[in-house]
Chain A
Amino acid sequence: MEPQSGDLPQGLEIFMNILFLSIPFLVLLLAYITGKVAEKRHYARIHEREGHWLNIPAITGKHLPDLPAVASADLVVGSVVISVDHFKRFLSGFRKFFGGEMKSYSSIIDRGRREAILRMKESSPEADLFLNCRLETSSVSKGKGKVVGCAEVLAYATAVRFQRTAE
């Protein structure tokens, strides 16, 4: 008996079909894992740096009643462009159907805001206080259709340095 000549290509074709059909799921899985790991590491880094900056607060007020004499005041800016991963975008599709809070999106914006504030603080390491801190979020680019592409978070404030009494 002669071996069927179509056997191997057919098996290969089925294999290729399965591979091709599973690509979207593989991408989702990849996005889920990498997104999760990245978020965990980012939050760890944010917590560490926030602890470091805890004594130098950024406040939204413009005046403090008993402010020491000010030596210098300057504008400082921090910003970050952040995007949601593919898996969260996929989940948000369901959320849009049922309504309610989009937890996956709030965590990403929360990370962006805190990162922006930290960058703002880090750009002026000698400051004693950050007055009139403002936060702004804008969508930089829309993805295909109604999908959120990525958002920019901007934090800006006036970095104030108090006069040091001669030691």
Chain B
Amino acid sequence: MTLTNLESIPGQSIVEHYGIVQGSTIRAKHVGRDLMAGLKNIVGGELKGYTELMREARQQATDRMIEQAGELGANAIINIRYTTTSVSQGAAEMLAYGTAVRCQ
């Protein structure tokens, strides 16, 4: 599966469009991480636990999007966008969406 956030795949031509595909996940952080982040909030800087959490969430959203595109028979997803929304205190939704296409 070729993934790109361009409108076309450089060096290849699109032969069929399958429309929008998306994958999302809502993740909450666990208490231990929250506690560590609370301490880290005093000195500032990167919160590694959260970075890891967001990366996992993004990977899962991307995997779900790829799965959906695979079911349609696509071999590439173009014009991918990511958005993050905080659903409630301590939980975040990660959404990945794009256009499933078949390219040659």
Contact = CB atoms under 8 A, between A and B. Distances in A.
B84 A136 contact: yes
B3 A75 contact: yes
Interface stretch (A1-9, A11-19, A81-89, A92-100): A81-89
B42 A31 contact: yes
- A82, A156, A158: residue with the most chain B Cβ atoms closer than 10 Å: A158
Interface stretch (B18-26, B51-59, B67-75): B51-59
Contacts of B32: none
Size bin of chain A's contact surface: 35 or more
Contact of A132 (B5, B29, B55): B5
B82 A82 contact: no
Contacts, number: 122
Interface of B: 2-7, 9-11, 29, 37, 40-47, 50-51, 53-55, 58, 80-86, 89-90, 92
15 contacts: A73-B2, A73-B4, A73-B6, A73-B11, A74-B2, A75-B3, A83-B41, A85-B44, A136-B82, A138-B83, A138-B85, A139-B86, A140-B84, A152-B84, A158-B5
Interface of A: 27, 30-31, 34-35, 38-39, 42, 62, 67, 69-71, 73-75, 77, 79-86, 88, 108, 115, 131-132, 134, 136, 138-143, 149-150, 152, 154, 156-158, 160
